[in-house]
Structure 1
């Protein structure tokens, strides 16, 4: 055991020493508390409201893409849009094995909680909480520690991919109790005491609450908690009713079990918790596979080494400690989802109801794809930094199609949902395919075509999330008319936004069709990719709701939220044509008018960084000969919309998309149009960046970038003058050196040539 810990420490030391000027482990720049308080960024104060004014992240102790994440719990519910932990809360009532979609407004599911108390036994989650102080709280990706003031208990957490490990140190001698419960809001679940094995086990059935109807998902979150010493007493409870020596309880509100110990002052009790989505027995197997014969320090050191290895894929130099904290915390947040669903031996329940027990072999099967968000930057980031992991994610999506007979749109809870608009699983698969991360078979390709051209014949299948919403209207009119209320969807109406997003998805699918020489479908899809024009009103220089007869709705204000727009205003969504900016320019009257409209949009304060549909907008000046404005805007957003404080994220992080945007922006380029292997250049924000790409390194040098020189003067790629304002994905994979000469004032000549503009479907 000591040898293993020594090896991990040596690895951490070597990784730290590989950086020239800073020996701080990269993982120690990560602050998981960033984003756990209401956003205090500039944009959030003017645009955010309700849950959108909070990043909705929690201080996870976890591995990248883990099955279960471990967090302190200040809210015991699994209610939609309520995260397990909020920084401004003052009471901790448990420590949760969580499946909360980080940064989201869905709900936790299949979760369980554990809570230590001393003195009198108090089991109810409403009564057992303890005050705590942030001065006695430490949060890192590999350890969370807090002192529970009411009980004088020090609590520490660390984790593996499927398991958690907690250590409770009791200052008070005498009776100590550790309570476990499934977090079911439906009065469901099960807990049992297995005294002879020092175990408390249980499960919490999963419901698809965000879908809107709350149906059972067909599986549960299972747990096995194993203690490192014998119980002096035990029992189960329902709320405040305690049943000492009883060994099982099920399907009542606020149920759980507890173990009691007589402890000396300063004594610690360790609890190892295995989790699974398959069964209690599989949770026990996961515990044995990942935690058997291991102590807290060893697990913690290994988790720290895991994060250090991943974060070392991008090494930055220059800038302040705050700059590095913002960057590496963003990278950490980017790597939390999707979620591993299979057990350590590969076992997992099939998609959409779990009727079959399958095995993933030597790869992981993933769930919880927040596709409306993460196709934009998160998955492109994985394609660049972690292509093998993203290939397994794409395999998981295609596996869902084979099991459910339809490619999912927004797969959460290992289920179909119509939770958000668009069909961006197609775009995500297209980006991976075009970048040669995956090969799509003939059979798999048919599932993509099916989504784009067919609607389920069975209404219940459609209602439950199979197929594109309002596809028949979209195909008939070339847009979704206002008469189609899209009732069988969690997000109803939003017809203009659906039209725009389907047009982009059609474009992305056309890229796969062209790669496969399927010219017939490619031509039709490319024509459909121009459907965005059908909801554009030239008189308003803006998108606008349209009826089936072709007339535009009188209900229109480009500056206000409209029912036919998703989570935004018509003007904000007007710029959502990432595949055909040149075509949008033509609609606006040409390049000059386009640039002027873009200026007016930003001057009016319409840009809202706290929600995803506009994330590409700051980069659009590169398409109209004014890339220095992109460089200035991105720098401003990085400064004003991200902070190293607890309120430092400008809206829901949405499974890491908000953070992935920052990572790309700091590197100096962004994937405006996923499925096109290009990145639009905005300029790096560190003096030197080293990116590990498979078996080579890409070095980006930009002296002065970290000290306010944010304008590109000139650039070189491998010693040759580089004038394009975008980068090719395959050129980056070759490694080498990208050099930027940075300055404090714009160079209005660099990157402005029309022949050197980023890709657009319509050619100038």
Structure 2
């Protein structure tokens, strides 16, 4: 690495904060970005890891109220449920834990230990990035929450004259996991320690322990002795009318490290200071992009999208660099390498799949937050060193094999091609190549923990496609042969680009040839990518709008266009650019009638009507489709449809609406940000000196503050002159005063800094 990563982050945050301090009035309202975030977006459709309030970017602690606690989907904070069932510290991919509830003790503890839920009202609730406050009607308690990176801090105001207690949920279902093995003990007049275990799930195959260390600002009276109770109630000594402050540090390695995390990050008791500092962290991150123009709702939604892009994927390493390694036959505590100051070089992460990341976080992070991209690459390489595979979505320190393919390959290659190289590139290539061969990630479909049959990369290599149905039998989720073939083809192409860059010419030629395998499944008669069985027979009957039959979470109309590396070749199969553009344009016209999404949440994606939509911006397989027109000689249609998609699918600002599907830990938020900036990368930025394609920017001005540790330019500005709601089209474009041709600009041109000026109009520019 060029410098210790945490030093880079700290210095750059200071530089951006100073620069933002000079130019904050450029924001239309004069408000800081953190104050424009709307955390309740889509909260009525929340899943366990979706909702965030009291947390920092990628925080180990994501402290918030839970109103539903049974299962991974439809749980956590659900806006339309009026009952709080605890305040959990962990809302992560396939993990939960350390749920607490303040209660008043009135001689009812034997009932209370299992019956402690409380009604609340949104009228007495405040939700901000880094802060959540609500009133528990049943107990008359005002609860306030905030957090550092690894420590949750609570402030509870109890009613006068009532005995104050804190209930610890130590067993039973909590979101995606069943909690067991709960233990709580007092270790000092004001201290507790404990642990719980997340039992295995269908997605996470091994248990993972959570250790926690608790401190109060007043003395503990006792842990109430209640026979046969799984949960525990801690009674506190009387403190008059003063609020109770409680700090909870967590760790996945030991009680000692949970205490160390608290000592390192939160040695004081000033709740309001934590809120201020946490919101400053968020503001510094969000301020890397400044916008001007648009409505108040559009500005608030933009910063909410950007905030979501930095959510969901959680830190699992301690402040000293210890982390849980579950990749081997037995659990071990690993250690992240330390820099010359004794600090960990990177954090280790729990993460949902990178399925679709090539069009979302991979593009946004590499441009605006390159240090985060480097951390994730380093973390995933640590998994490779420990367990022998680069993951596509790890949980609890182990592989989950979530989704399909080698989705991490484009992420790594994009980082390398953009100059983010503070990692062992040779080691990375070794791990990535392994994933594209038998025994790697392409051998396994979703959650296939104990076999390597579902991905069927062997037939892909031998026949040139993955047969559907899988002749080997049923193994993991998402055994959809046509979809797998297209994913593998694209991912092979991206690996070929890295092989070429590293001078591995034989590998480059081999994987380039494999990247053409998608052609075997193009059916000239129907005009779609069509599943084929092991004998080379087309699936029959065939319905291009039949959801999930050969295509991962989509249909043939959507997935046919998943050839981001060779759209020219796909268009040729379709009869040329003109016919391909006409076909895709008709799909957009049909999809517009349904708002470009399969309903307003992932839960209704399989609805008989919604599932037949030809373009679905509520899930990953369709994310790139509006920008395909750029490659078919029709940039005007890219500009038109990308703006219309933003207006219909990514403009709401309410608890009931937001992403109209599966947000998946920043993927939809990142996509929305990029589309509103008017930037995109069709192949995920995996070619040499990648190109950013242009769409239709939403705002009249956007300034991106570039990280000087990675890029030489200070800022890159996108200025859209004459931009109005119906002015979708780019009439003229200049970069630093010079006319720009084509439909995009290179990564090196952006990172040198400067201004891209776009003149917008209501009619397409003459072609």
TM-score normalised by the chain length of structure 2: 0.87
| Corresponding residue number in structure 2 for 1:367 | 350
Structure 1 alignment gaps of length 5 or more: 1-7, 39-50, 102-106, 243-253, 750-764
Alpha-carbon deviation of 1:375?
A: 3.4
| Corresponding residue number in structure 1 for 2:183 | 191
Structure 1 window deviating more from structure 2 (13-22 vs 282-291): it is 13-22
Question: Equivalents in 2 of 1:197, 1:475: separation in Å?
Answer: 65
Confirm whether residue 648 of structure 1 aligns to residue 658 of structure 2: yes
Alpha-carbon deviation of 1:172?
A: 3.7
Name the CA shift for 1:485/1:325 in 2 (closer, same or farther; >3 Å).
farther
Name the CA shift for 1:598/1:11 in 2 (closer, same or farther; >3 Å).
closer
Deviation by residue 1:65-92 (Cα, 9 ceiling, x = unmatched): 1112111111234x23243110010101
| Corresponding residue number in structure 2 for 1:255 | 231
Contact kept? 1:35, 1:56, Cα under 8 Å: no
Deviation by residue 1:183-233 (Cα, 9 ceiling, x = unmatched): 54346122223152422322222344242xx6324x312211211100233
* Mapping of residues 748-759 of structure 1, within 5 Å: 748-749=766-767
* Mapping of residues 345-356 of structure 1, within 5 Å: 345-353=320-328, 354-356=331-333
Contact kept? 2:361, 2:667, Cα under 8 Å: yes
Deviation by residue 1:84-103 (Cα, 9 ceiling, x = unmatched): 110010101211101323xx
Count, aligned residues: 704
Name the CA shift for 1:308/1:163 in 2 (closer, same or farther; >3 Å).
same
| Corresponding residue number in structure 1 for 2:697 | 684
Contact kept? 1:714, 1:723, Cα under 8 Å: no
Confirm whether residue 290 of structure 1 aligns to residue 278 of structure 2: no
Contact kept? 1:136, 1:147, Cα under 8 Å: yes
Question: Equivalents in 2 of 1:485, 1:337: separation in Å?
Answer: 36
Question: Equivalents in 1 of 2:85, 2:188: separation in Å?
Answer: 28
| Corresponding residue number in structure 2 for 1:20 | 25
Contact kept? 2:630, 2:743, Cα under 8 Å: yes
| Corresponding residue number in structure 1 for 2:205 | 215
Question: Equivalents in 1 of 2:624, 2:226: separation in Å?
Answer: 52
| Corresponding residue number in structure 1 for 2:146 | 158
SS of equivalent to 1:429 = helix
Structure 1 window deviating more from structure 2 (318-327 vs 597-606): it is 597-606
Among residues 109, 125, 134, which one is paired with 1:137 in the alignment?
125
Question: Equivalents in 2 of 1:400, 1:509: separation in Å?
Answer: 19
Question: Equivalents in 1 of 2:697, 2:665: separation in Å?
Answer: 24
What is the alpha-carbon root mean square deviation over aligned residues? 2.7
SS of equivalent to 1:737 = strand
Question: Equivalents in 2 of 1:282, 1:377: separation in Å?
Answer: 34
| Corresponding residue number in structure 2 for 1:48 | none
* Mapping of residues 593-742 of structure 1, within 5 Å: 593-605=579-591, 606-642=614-650, 643-646=652-655, 647-674=657-684, 675-676=686-687, 677-695=690-708, 696-705=714-723, 707-742=725-760
Confirm whether residue 540 of structure 1 aligns to residue 515 of structure 2: no
SS of equivalent to 1:406 = coil
| Corresponding residue number in structure 2 for 1:343 | 318
Question: Equivalents in 2 of 1:9, 1:523: separation in Å?
Answer: 45
| Corresponding residue number in structure 2 for 1:324 | 299
Deviation by residue 1:33-65 (Cα, 9 ceiling, x = unmatched): 101114xxxxxxxxxxxx8xx797213321111
Name the CA shift for 1:562/1:190 in 2 (closer, same or farther; >3 Å).
closer
Question: Equivalents in 1 of 2:704, 2:172: separation in Å?
Answer: 43
Contact kept? 1:463, 1:488, Cα under 8 Å: no
Contact kept? 1:420, 1:490, Cα under 8 Å: no
Name the CA shift for 1:434/1:220 in 2 (closer, same or farther; >3 Å).
same
Alpha-carbon deviation of 1:503?
A: 0.5
Deviation by residue 1:225-266 (Cα, 9 ceiling, x = unmatched): 21110023322657xx55xxxxxxxxxxx43342344354x4
Question: Equivalents in 2 of 1:267, 1:530: separation in Å?
Answer: 69
Name the CA shift for 1:523/1:124 in 2 (closer, same or farther; >3 Å).
farther
Question: Equivalents in 1 of 2:226, 2:721: separation in Å?
Answer: 63
Contact kept? 2:153, 2:248, Cα under 8 Å: yes
Alpha-carbon deviation of 1:335?
A: 0.4
Among residues 139, 153, 164, which one is paired with 1:176 in the alignment?
164
| Corresponding residue number in structure 2 for 1:30 | 37
Structure 1 window deviating more from structure 2 (395-404 vs 228-237): it is 228-237
Among residues 227, 231, 237, which one is paired with 2:220 in the alignment?
231
Alpha-carbon deviation of 1:483?
A: 4.4
Name the CA shift for 1:651/1:16 in 2 (closer, same or farther; >3 Å).
farther
| Corresponding residue number in structure 1 for 2:69 | 76
Confirm whether residue 400 of structure 1 aligns to residue 383 of structure 2: yes
Deviation by residue 1:135-174 (Cα, 9 ceiling, x = unmatched): 1111111111111122111111111111110100113422
* Mapping of residues 430-469 of structure 1, within 5 Å: 430-438=413-421, 440-455=424-439, 463-464=449-450, 469=455
| Corresponding residue number in structure 1 for 2:6 | none
* Greater relative CO (CA pairs within 8 A, separation 6+): 1
Contact kept? 1:484, 1:493, Cα under 8 Å: yes
Question: Equivalents in 1 of 2:351, 2:742: separation in Å?
Answer: 37
| Corresponding residue number in structure 2 for 1:91 | 83
| Corresponding residue number in structure 2 for 1:43 | none
| Corresponding residue number in structure 2 for 1:307 | 282
Name the CA shift for 1:459/1:63 in 2 (closer, same or farther; >3 Å).
closer
SS of equivalent to 1:453 = coil
Confirm whether residue 206 of structure 1 aligns to residue 177 of structure 2: no
Contact kept? 1:156, 1:168, Cα under 8 Å: yes
Deviation by residue 1:638-688 (Cα, 9 ceiling, x = unmatched): 111121111222112101101100100111111221113122210211111
Among residues 514, 526, 531, which one is paired with 2:517 in the alignment?
531
Contact kept? 2:48, 2:72, Cα under 8 Å: no
Contact kept? 1:76, 1:183, Cα under 8 Å: no
Question: Equivalents in 2 of 1:607, 1:337: separation in Å?
Answer: 26
Alpha-carbon deviation of 1:403?
A: 1.0
Contact kept? 2:167, 2:233, Cα under 8 Å: yes
Name the CA shift for 1:382/1:591 in 2 (closer, same or farther; >3 Å).
same
Question: Equivalents in 2 of 1:202, 1:373: separation in Å?
Answer: 38
Question: Equivalents in 2 of 1:124, 1:137: separation in Å?
Answer: 24
SS of equivalent to 2:721 = coil
Question: Equivalents in 2 of 1:55, 1:356: separation in Å?
Answer: 26
Structure 1 window deviating more from structure 2 (64-73 vs 195-204): it is 195-204
Question: Equivalents in 2 of 1:11, 1:470: separation in Å?
Answer: 48
Contact kept? 1:485, 1:492, Cα under 8 Å: no
| Corresponding residue number in structure 2 for 1:250 | none
Contact kept? 1:452, 1:468, Cα under 8 Å: no
Contact kept? 1:144, 1:158, Cα under 8 Å: yes
| Corresponding residue number in structure 1 for 2:3 | none
| Corresponding residue number in structure 1 for 2:242 | 267
Alpha-carbon deviation of 1:12?
A: 7.3
Question: Equivalents in 2 of 1:10, 1:729: separation in Å?
Answer: 22
Alpha-carbon deviation of 1:336?
A: 1.4
